[in-house]
Structure 1
Amino acid sequence: MDFTFFCIVFSAIFSSIILIPSLISVNASESVLSSYLVHTDIHLRPPQFLIQDQWYSSMIESFTNRKIKLKTGSRIFYTYNEVLQGFAAKLTPQEAESINELPGVTGVFEDRFRINLDTTRSPDFLGLNLHYGLWPETDLGENIIIGVVDSGIWPESESFNDERLGPIPSKWKGTCEEGSEFNSSNCNRKLIGARFFFKGAEQHISSDHRLDFEYRSPRDANGHGTHTSSTAAGSNVKNANIFGFAKGQARGIASKARIAMYKACWIGGCADSDIVASIESAIKDGVDVLSLSFGSADEDYYENSIAIGTFAAVKRNIFVSCSGGNLGPHQFSVHNTAPWVITVGSGSLDRTFPVRIQLGNNKSFVGSSLYAGKINRKFSPLVYLKNCINRELVPRKVIGRIAVCYGSRSRAFDYGLSVKAAGGMGLIQLNDASEGEALRAIPYTLPAVTLGYKAAKELVSYIHSTKDPMARFRTRALTLVGKDRAPIVLSSSGRGPNYIVPEILKPDLVAPGLNILAAWPSNIAPTRSSEDPRRVKFNVDSGTSMACPHVAGVAALLRAAHPEWSAAAIRSALMTTATTIDNVQHPIAKFEDMVTATAISIGAGHVNPLSASDPGLIYDAHAPDYLKFLCSLNYTQKQMKIFTNKTKPCSGLTGSPYDLNYPSVSVVFRPGNTVHELRRTLTHVGSFLPEIYRVRIVNPNAQKVTVSVKPHMLKFGASLEKKSFRLKFETSYVFHSNMSILEQMVCGSISWESGKHIVRSPFSVMWDKNKMKH
């Protein structure tokens, strides 16, 4: 159809709709408003509307019931033009359905409120040093702007002082929004901008008064955003500690980088519309790096607000670091799997907080704790409750006893408070099988310790073997550095395969995420409980939320060192130089079973900043490559227009997800497939020329799959020279339905080695009987 004719017809139809709004009726039972994101195609805007906002307003006026009265504001509460073309509005389901049928509307999606929030030692552990390497080469990342989308920030924290920082970079276009207990003077040359976005959240949680406990401003009422932003770019603070533990000099990974806070997460979670609005603002403001420590359930990328928002950011060459989630160790538990972001899992540090307990049978175990008060070293009776927050926790069972119970990642802080309130004199919190030997350090309010799963089983067995089980705390907690094996992957760290597109290996890498010390709001208890009167300036927290800003900080250093690199080049450098060996020269293991971690758990390995600054070669990619990737997923034209304004987004773009020039490889054999051939292109970014690379393949199970690479050698004679190679995976193995996908998986690596550089890419091979997508 001729495009001009289409516009005339559309205009006539739309105009007639405007003239007869009375034809639209909505029953009283259909008057419940929810918030929706409406995606539009700007090429199909009727000509009588000079600007987008007029068009959007006409849709609302024509397709909504005017009898439905709003308490405050208008139906449209956000308009977008960077992340997407469209708006967020309050609609009934029937109104949303009607608007979705309009020409020019590419999709209407419910605004979901289900996105969940997911270091004195870690810079040293990562090898960062003031005398050589990335820190001195980049002046600690000064003038790089890290945008953090999170729960807000506590600007008075020492971690956000701007001493020794120069003027705010001229590229910065943002602002410092004022609001509840937050004004423009709270920003400085470190915290150069702060905004807040609550209109989406307001639709979901205003009715139950959760916002009453929040600041309607960029100020942090949770602690999460303060912790993550100071991890990425906190200023140098001497004598940082929590109750005397982890004492030392705290600084962020890029301690002279500037921070811009975008508060889009509130009590209970983050709304899609607020996330999109925050990323849109970050793009316009001029950030260089984005750090997103939250995620949501699996969904196709065209429905995922994080994927949509970050795609727009990466198109502007903004590097995006995302947390991989805390739902491990189960397979398919990793989230934020879009190939244009780096997905970060969590590992341990070589710093522990040991406490020794002794049982009545003279056996002793070492656990972890941040309890700094007095302890009674006399034996006390044990009471096994299984769960420390339920009806079993009554004073007659607990008074004068040490309670023993299995812990919960989400309720760990509550257990000590509950036991103390019931009259207990101590707590032994036990890891279950899924948590394994990962010892989270918890700032307990009474003498308490967390024990690993092996010790937990022995302790429970002891309790059941005697009428009068007893135990005592032999030692108080202390801080030990360099004594334990590290890193080890946290059991909770999100695991692959990638459920949405298994041909893209996720997570990409792991970073420090266990017992990370960082800044904390001075009015929030370290346990986040209103029943805990203690206040701290720094707190310890764990999870991929803590790992993500470590990588964002390293990316900021790389952006300062190599301003000409694309976001994909930075990701490639981080991945191909990551280490798979721990501090005792063993393969990195997993806490749940202490078995060697494969690519499904650690991706390319643990982040290694010193090597990442000089990777030798990189796998590059840009927005057109990601569009071709999306087209390979067989998205409809409407779905594709969520990512691009092109009239025919996939015209001339054919291929498969394997075609993306990704730094790792994931192969899926489905029924009828016995061979997969892939192509990758490397770009020389080193200073050593000429440089000859030879391939090395590590394949632990050649009986299942053979892996070959051609050519075997690549010679680079010029900077930025590109060379391509082909990989071939062949198999005669047949999927066994009585075994899981992971049990049959093969993980290995392909490395290009020159003597000066090692450019390593992990691969995974799976056999699937049509259970996974694509």
Structure 2
Amino acid sequence: MRTASRSILLPIFFFVFCFTAYCNEQRRIYIVYLGEHKGLKSPQEILKGHHSLLFSVKNSEEEASGAILYSYKHSINGFAALLTEEEATKLSQMEEVVSAFPSEGRSSPHTTRSWKFITQEEGSKGSEKNLIGSKAKCGKNVIVGMLDSGIWPESESFSDRGIRHFPKRWKGICQEGDAFNSSHCNNKIIGARYYVKSYEYYYGPLNKTYAYRSPRDNDGHGTHTASTVAGRAVRNVSALGGFAWGTATGGAPLARLAIYKVCWPIPGPNPNIENTCFDADMLAAFDDAIADGVHVISMSIGTTGEPPEYSKDSMAIGALHAAKRDIVVVCSAGNDGPGPATVTNLAPWMITVGASSVDRAFDSLVLLGNGVTIKGQTVTPYVLNSSHFYPLVYARDAVHPGIPSNISGQCLPNSLDGDKVRGKVVLCLRGSGLRVAKGLEVKRAGGAAIILGNAVASGNEIPVDAHVLPGTAVSSDDAIAILKYIDATRRPSAKVGSARTVLGVTPAPVMAAFSSRGPNRVEPSILKPDITAPGLNILAAWSESSSPTKLEDDHRSVKYDLYSGTSMSCPHVSAVAALLKSLYPDWSSAAIRSAMMTTATVENARGEALTDTSGRVAGPMDYGSGHIRPAHASDPGLVYDASYEDYLLFACSSIGAQMDPSFRCPETPPSPSDLNYPSIAVSHLNGSVTVRRTVTNVGRGPAKYRVTATEPTGVSVHILPQKLRFKRSGQRRRFSVTLKVRGRRDTPSGDYVAGSYTWSDGTHVVRSPIVVSLA
């Protein structure tokens, strides 16, 4: 704690310190948000204005000057400063201040097959039009800003071979630091910065054993996401052990990358495992990225706990300023599924992405002593001798005395008794602790191999891991079957086979269990997530400073690694946004979002309804509008557009607050449901409600569209007019959707029901989901 360290250095002020620390409020970093910069002001004038505001709550100009960490000086007007709660409250009450809120640490870390799978899944129409990659020149000269843990610039995925000159709009820099100088930027990585002030205030000086004080990535997460968006095509790559072998490529391989490192390791026993990204640092990165000239911002960053309202959410604030300049902001939905109301990144001016599977598996067979064969999955490079069976033990029966029964089967660190495990195959259950750490514990205790059993909530979803010993992972049903075999057998035994890569797995895609679900906890009238994309077992470039498991005791190094999470699905959508930006440079960020959402599919590759890992039919609270189809998104027919002013009006009605001090909320703002969004969400419907939408024809010429609807259970849908005629491209047409509760209802109050409506001209299919909860 900073104040405590000062008391050691200055003991003469011990009494003063005690009074300050315990009688007054603790200082912490607050973001004071003032909206948009107005007029032309120099950075010095802006900083002077921020000092003046601070001086109004501080004791001296010197104290005010010393309190500022960041002065946001480009698009975003505001600053990050050390304040007490009382000082922050006083500032928040000033007319020119939109909000003042603490800078929190957010959790970060919420491919050879995924891009090929997405285009194959689109079928014949996709093959006719795909063509999006070639039509969009592979994203050439589109700049994607990555807010993440940095980049490993030596990766072949970031070669600038054949790419010439910087885009004319680029105004950024290549910031130097530890093991990173200007030569590490090139015509592919055209800029790089890092932001560490807020992090170092909370945790002290960065421990350079675990992280570079520079844009260089020590973690792997940022390198992985950047190469998924815009990595060059690299042949003959694979994960450790040769798995997922093929050509690795990003979705927009000729797009440029601008790196903004905002995420840093959390000090602790395993500092490489988890990163944190502070609000004040991220808002500074947003401010720079907008000024630097990026077209797309990709953020695989989220938060846990209760989400803040939009005016106190640094990511929502940064994204709003980006949206005003038609910069597309894409964010991950979070990895806290499958429970309801777990989705994060909830503002309607950002695209929120869930995660689903691809049609690839890494099959490894488990043969039990009774002759039963169970199919697992793994990417461990280690192979168990298959010439004989090994004793099989459940971790619960092999722990040290005193381990609580509710966690005894989970192979947590130092829980296993070596005398009971040595030379055996150990069944461990998922739950608390890291999957790869469970394998490390089995190895520490002398086990021969691990079988990792899914929790019931994870169903058949199996994220694969490069374990430090032979092993495999199995579904929850198969884990139960193995447990029953162990309990019913005097001397249970098993073999664990090596893995092989299998393509064409069905059904696919399937919604990942970890993918966070709706409804939206800040504004239920906006459906989140918006869309889903591949996020399970994705291969992409990796930091050679990080091991494939990130465990401190794992000293292996890889150039490419398999990783899972909505952090991996987010950059898939960012890449498609970059391609669309290349195709349609004049389209707004809302139009690009609409194109992706209204052309998404709610069917798997077999033409059946999308399901989750348990086999249950999934719905809009799981996948939003559906699974992304890049080729279809390149020709959507109609789009739902929205402007900066539309978003400000939405905030007026949604949170009852102004997001821009220069904008005055009307006395009666439109309903949040009337924001021109590509989906419809209505909460606590009682009787009937009418929502209004406007579509813009982005086809090549005149068109006539007709509407059809699939009604939610217990709710009628009436759309007027039922036909829309467009005389030319760019023309707009309005319509209304009336939702009415039917007289007889079987749905409990508060439960959501889902339907959809679709406009079609015979060529284009423009689909929007409807979700309704009944009062």
TM-score, scaled relative to structure 1? 0.89
Instruction: Work out the CA distance in 1 between the residues paired with 2:413 and 2:365.
Output: 27
> Does the residue aligned with 1:353 lie in a helix, a strand or coil?
strand
1:760 aligned to which of 751, 754, 767: 767
Q: Is the 8 A contact 1:358 1:471 kept in 2?
A: yes
**Corresponding residue for residue 364 of structure 1:** 373
CA-CA distance at 1:121 after TM superposition:
0.8
**Corresponding residue for residue 506 of structure 2:** 484
Deviates more, 1:406-415 or 1:622-631: 406-415
CA distance 1:31–1:753, shift in 2 (3 Å):
closer
Answering whether residue 330 of structure 2 is matched by residue 318 of structure 1, we say no
Counterpart residue identity of residue 127, structure 1? T
CA distance 1:100–1:241, shift in 2 (3 Å):
same
Instruction: Work out the CA distance in 2 between the residues paired with 1:55 and 1:354.
Output: 62
* Correspondence 1:454-465 to 2 at 5 A: 454-465=477-488
Deviates more, 1:314-323 or 1:132-141: 132-141
CA-CA distance at 1:77 after TM superposition:
1.1
Per-residue deviation, residues 607-629 of structure 1 (Å, max 9, x unmatched): 00011000111111110111111
CA distance 1:160–1:410, shift in 2 (3 Å):
farther
CA-CA distance at 1:681 after TM superposition:
0.9
**Corresponding residue for residue 111 of structure 2:** 119
Instruction: Work out the CA distance in 1 between the residues paired with 2:737 and 2:703.
Output: 21
Q: Is the 8 A contact 2:111 2:539 kept in 1?
A: yes
CA distance 1:539–1:614, shift in 2 (3 Å):
same
CA-CA distance at 1:283 after TM superposition:
0.0
* Correspondence 1:728-747 to 2 at 5 A: 728-732=738-742, 741=750, 744-747=751-754
**Corresponding residue for residue 274 of structure 1:** 281
Instruction: Work out the CA distance in 2 between the residues paired with 1:244 and 1:634.
Output: 51
Instruction: Work out the CA distance in 2 between the residues paired with 1:69 and 1:695.
Output: 63
Counterpart residue identity of residue 140, structure 1? C
Answering whether residue 602 of structure 2 is matched by residue 580 of structure 1, we say yes
Q: Is the 8 A contact 1:83 1:308 kept in 2?
A: no
> Does the residue aligned with 1:631 lie in a helix, a strand or coil?
helix
Instruction: Work out the CA distance in 1 between the residues paired with 2:758 and 2:394.
Output: 51
> Does the residue aligned with 2:627 lie in a helix, a strand or coil?
coil
> Does the residue aligned with 2:286 lie in a helix, a strand or coil?
helix
Instruction: Work out the CA distance in 2 between the residues paired with 1:730 and 1:427.
Output: 54
> Does the residue aligned with 2:693 lie in a helix, a strand or coil?
strand
Counterpart residue identity of residue 287, structure 2? E
Instruction: Work out the CA distance in 2 between the residues paired with 1:669 and 1:132.
Output: 42
> Does the residue aligned with 1:168 lie in a helix, a strand or coil?
coil
Answering whether residue 671 of structure 2 is matched by residue 656 of structure 1, we say yes
* Correspondence 1:258-657 to 2 at 5 A: 258-268=256-266, 269-297=276-304, 298-377=307-386, 378-385=388-395, 386-408=409-431, 411-473=434-496, 475-591=497-613, 593-636=614-657, 640=658, 643-646=659-662, 648-651=663-666, 654-657=669-672
Counterpart residue identity of residue 650, structure 2? F
CA distance 1:484–1:372, shift in 2 (3 Å):
farther
CA-CA distance at 1:658 after TM superposition:
1.1
Instruction: Work out the CA distance in 2 between the residues paired with 1:162 and 1:624.
Output: 39
Instruction: Work out the CA distance in 2 between the residues paired with 1:409 and 1:125.
Output: 33
Instruction: Work out the CA distance in 2 between the residues paired with 1:55 and 1:561.
Output: 41
Answering whether residue 720 of structure 2 is matched by residue 685 of structure 1, we say no
CA distance 1:307–1:41, shift in 2 (3 Å):
closer
Q: Is the 8 A contact 1:515 1:542 kept in 2?
A: yes
Deviating runs (4+, > 6 A) in structure 1? 41-45, 66-70, 128-131, 733-737
CA distance 1:359–1:482, shift in 2 (3 Å):
same
Per-residue deviation, residues 300-352 of structure 1 (Å, max 9, x unmatched): 11111111110111111000111000000000011111101111000001111
**Corresponding residue for residue 107 of structure 1:** 99
Counterpart residue identity of residue 693, structure 1? Y
Per-residue deviation, residues 268-310 of structure 1 (Å, max 9, x unmatched): 3110000100011100000000101011241211111111110
**Corresponding residue for residue 730 of structure 2:** 720
Q: Is the 8 A contact 1:369 1:449 kept in 2?
A: yes
> Does the residue aligned with 2:457 lie in a helix, a strand or coil?
coil
Instruction: Work out the CA distance in 2 between the residues paired with 1:589 and 1:668.
Output: 24
**Corresponding residue for residue 271 of structure 2:** none
Instruction: Work out the CA distance in 1 between the residues paired with 2:50 and 2:712.
Output: 57
CA distance 1:67–1:398, shift in 2 (3 Å):
farther
Instruction: Work out the CA distance in 2 between the residues paired with 1:131 and 1:44.
Output: 44
Deviates more, 1:26-35 or 1:242-251: 26-35
Instruction: Work out the CA distance in 1 between the residues paired with 2:452 and 2:75.
Output: 45
Q: Is the 8 A contact 2:108 2:148 kept in 1?
A: no
2:758 aligned to which of 751, 757, 761: 751
Answering whether residue 190 of structure 2 is matched by residue 192 of structure 1, we say yes
Instruction: Work out the CA distance in 2 between the residues paired with 1:342 and 1:674.
Output: 31
CA-CA distance at 1:111 after TM superposition:
1.1
Q: Is the 8 A contact 2:36 2:660 kept in 1?
A: no
CA-CA distance at 1:63 after TM superposition:
3.4
CA-CA distance at 1:476 after TM superposition:
1.1
**Corresponding residue for residue 674 of structure 1:** 687
**Corresponding residue for residue 87 of structure 1:** 79
Q: Is the 8 A contact 1:43 1:645 kept in 2?
A: no
CA distance 1:220–1:41, shift in 2 (3 Å):
closer
Counterpart residue identity of residue 669, structure 1? H
CA distance 1:64–1:394, shift in 2 (3 Å):
farther
Counterpart residue identity of residue 453, structure 1? S
Instruction: Work out the CA distance in 1 between the residues paired with 2:749 and 2:592.
Output: 35
Q: Is the 8 A contact 1:160 1:190 kept in 2?
A: yes
Answering whether residue 710 of structure 2 is matched by residue 698 of structure 1, we say yes
2:227 aligned to which of 226, 230, 234: 230
Counterpart residue identity of residue 586, structure 2? E
CA-CA distance at 1:717 after TM superposition:
1.8
CA-CA distance at 1:85 after TM superposition:
1.7
Counterpart residue identity of residue 421, structure 1? R
Instruction: Work out the CA distance in 2 between the residues paired with 1:103 and 1:682.
Output: 37
Q: Is the 8 A contact 1:120 1:247 kept in 2?
A: yes
Q: How many equivalent pairs are there? A: 723
CA-CA distance at 1:549 after TM superposition:
0.2
CA-CA distance at 1:470 after TM superposition:
1.2
Per-residue deviation, residues 76-108 of structure 1 (Å, max 9, x unmatched): 110013453221112233443444455544432
CA distance 1:577–1:116, shift in 2 (3 Å):
same
Counterpart residue identity of residue 332, structure 2? S
**Corresponding residue for residue 238 of structure 2:** 241
2:139 aligned to which of 138, 141, 157: 141
Per-residue deviation, residues 415-469 of structure 1 (Å, max 9, x unmatched): 1112111111000001111111111111111111010111111111211222322
Q: Is the 8 A contact 1:44 1:103 kept in 2?
A: no
Q: Is the 8 A contact 1:323 1:343 kept in 2?
A: yes
Q: Is the 8 A contact 1:734 1:767 kept in 2?
A: no
Q: Is the 8 A contact 1:118 1:293 kept in 2?
A: yes
CA distance 1:740–1:373, shift in 2 (3 Å):
farther
TM-score, scaled relative to structure 2? 0.89
Q: Is the 8 A contact 2:749 2:773 kept in 1?
A: no
Per-residue deviation, residues 572-610 of structure 1 (Å, max 9, x unmatched): 00001001111122111101x211111110111100001
